[in-house]
Structure 1
Amino acid sequence: QLLAGDIHGESGLDGPVFEPLQSEEEAEHGVLFLVRTLMESEGDIILVPTGPLTNIAMAMRMEPRIIPKIKRIVLMGGCYQLGNVTPAAEFNIIADADAAHVVFTSGRPITMVGLDVTRKVLCYPQVVKRMEEIGTPAARLFTELMGHFNKSQKEVFGWEGGPLHDPVTIASIIDPELLVTKPMYTEVDIRSVQSYGRTNCDFFGYSHREANVDVAVDVDVDRFWDLIETGIRAYGS
């Protein structure tokens, strides 16, 4: 099983101490929720998966009529350079590469926010201090989460600050100027051994095939942290 416990701890959110959980498990399966919600929509929903693409792929296979209802998929995953589970593959893709293949060949507009840009958004100690000084509950949660995350990233990758992978997706929707993207023909490797799960992005257009993914190639890091600070301050005291 791929759980990334070495990075996020046993709970998946190690660092803060949370109050006892009050919410209950949803009765409706996530796949059925996706199908129902998309079918009831006006084609205005952007899907933002920040984990393996299993549920979205299953929903597409169960009910293909949802596919044209998806406005865009902005996903955290993949890379056109170096992976983080193997030299070739990123965690969210290799965890279910076949599901990623289904999504990447669905024909819907896709923005791939991969490791190439999220590794530039490093949460250095001065960033943690900047957010901690805001003093709100959201600021304290950020500080506690990043304390554990930065420690594990230092141990595993040797970085002084951990990269904030997933939030870049939502940030890029809030602020369309945040990312630089490049359209590329991209396919997921689901056949090989050494490179299973790699997102093969045709950066130079060698294949002469029509681009199917807008691949993020750069990010305005200062703009990102300003957006994060605005969000943390918005939670008030």
Structure 2
Amino acid sequence: MSSTPTKVILDCDPGHDDAVAIILAAGNPKIELLGITTIGGNQTLPKVTRNALTVLTVINQLEIPVYAGCSRPLVREVEVAPDIHGDTGMEIHGYQLPEPAVDVVPNMHAVDYIIETVMNNEPGTIVLVPTGPLTNIAMAVRKEPRIAERVKEVVLMGGGYHVGNWSATAEFNIMVDPEAAHIVFNEKWPLTMVGLDLTHQALATKDVENQLRELNLNIADFMVGLFGFFRQAYKDAQGFDDPPVHDPCTLAYLIDPSVVSTQKVPLNVELHGELTLGMTVADFRAPAPADCHTQVAVKLDREKFWNLVIDAVKELS
């Protein structure tokens, strides 16, 4: 494995699991978190942007720039997930969130930041990690198509090849802006879909909470508070006993590919089905074509995954 850190732009909509993704990205030496871009998703753009700034304040990583992005899908109405993430987008139990000590970078839209960063770095060095709706990424590649051949990889949290959560067949990030997802999936950059089939293996169990609580560290207490709200919300909304922590699985894959097993398959997004709008369709008819540029995450090494998260908490503390 290369000793050079992977340069990452994290495009997110914090969100409880996005907060953990920020912690893992900022706290692992194999990731160089160049910047955070925000996208309306789990809650409205102002709320998720504030949440990103709050997380950076909690973990004392104020030098990481934050750029606000698109406030709505390409063609559809705004749809958020208060039943999972609460009215603020990052409701928490038993922990007092600080006021953000940093603000967004003024006068630059997230889409322009993505384009500028990719174009100003060597080809094949920037990884885009979207963990929310794909509107910013789609807008960036439409505005500047040359980024598609310069991006090293897109590793996204979204979709599912056997399961949905916002409908019977579609996952939230894809379904709320399926047109953007269709654009991103059909560009020829290498793309890894870390979908629900994988992330439902990343459960924040009571054992995980206890490991964090025993650290007696501020960031660990923050995460325990997040999981407290998240657990009850997932129990009420979807019947989970323990909440799946989706978004940091993308970073775990980049840090150590042995944590997340993948399979190369053609992928596409359904735009027209009455019952299947937003479905991510994976063609498992083997073998994948020689020119296949997409793959799906299939199996998580849960112990390695949580060790990475806990190590990041220790590193940041």
**Alignment length, in residue pairs?**
236
Aligned pair 1:10/2:90, yes or no? no
Q: Which runs of 5+ in 1 are unaligned?
A: none
1:213-228 pair list within 5 angstroms? 213-228=294-309
Equivalent position to 1:132, from 206, 209, 213: 213
Quote the residue 2:59 is aligned against. none
1:82-161 pair list within 5 angstroms? 82-161=163-242
Per-residue CA distance 1:119-178 (angstroms, 9 max, x = gap): 011111121111111011111111000000011011112221100100100111111111
The 8 Å contact of residues 31 and 58 in structure 1, kept in 2 or not, is answered as: yes
Q: Distance in 2 between matches of 1:81 and 1:210?
A: 24
Shift of 1:214: 1.1
Aligned pair 1:38/2:103, yes or no? no
Q: Which runs of 5+ in 2 are unaligned?
A: 1-77
Shift of 1:107: 0.3
Q: Distance in 1 between matches of 2:288 and 2:208?
A: 42
Change (3 A) 1:80 1:209: farther
Equivalent position to 1:51, from 132, 146, 153: 132
Q: Distance in 2 between matches of 1:230 and 1:210?
A: 37
Aligned pair 1:173/2:254, yes or no? yes
Kindly provide the amino acid, as one letter, of the partner of residue 98 in structure 2. Answer: E
Quote the residue 2:158 is aligned against. 77
Secondary structure of 1:226's aligned partner: helix
Secondary structure of 1:111's aligned partner: strand
The 8 Å contact of residues 104 and 212 in structure 1, kept in 2 or not, is answered as: no
CA RMSD of aligned residues (A): 1.5
The 8 Å contact of residues 264 and 288 in structure 2, kept in 1 or not, is answered as: no
Shift of 1:86: 0.3
Equivalent position to 2:272, from 188, 191, 195: 191
Moved more, 11-20 or 204-213: 204-213
The 8 Å contact of residues 53 and 93 in structure 1, kept in 2 or not, is answered as: yes
Aligned pair 1:62/2:143, yes or no? yes
Secondary structure of 1:163's aligned partner: coil
The 8 Å contact of residues 5 and 12 in structure 1, kept in 2 or not, is answered as: yes
Shift of 1:51: 0.4
Change (3 A) 1:21 1:63: same
Moved more, 103-112 or 203-212: 203-212
Q: Distance in 2 between matches of 1:167 and 1:224?
A: 9
The 8 Å contact of residues 184 and 210 in structure 1, kept in 2 or not, is answered as: no
The 8 Å contact of residues 136 and 235 in structure 1, kept in 2 or not, is answered as: no
Equivalent position to 1:22, from 101, 104, 108: 101
Kindly provide the amino acid, as one letter, of the partner of residue 34 in structure 1. Answer: I
Shift of 1:69: 1.1
The 8 Å contact of residues 160 and 197 in structure 2, kept in 1 or not, is answered as: yes
Moved over 3 A (4+): 205-210
Secondary structure of 2:142's aligned partner: helix
Instruction: With the length of structure 2 as denominator, give the TM-score of the two structures.
Output: 0.72
Shift of 1:66: 1.3
Shift of 1:231: 1.0
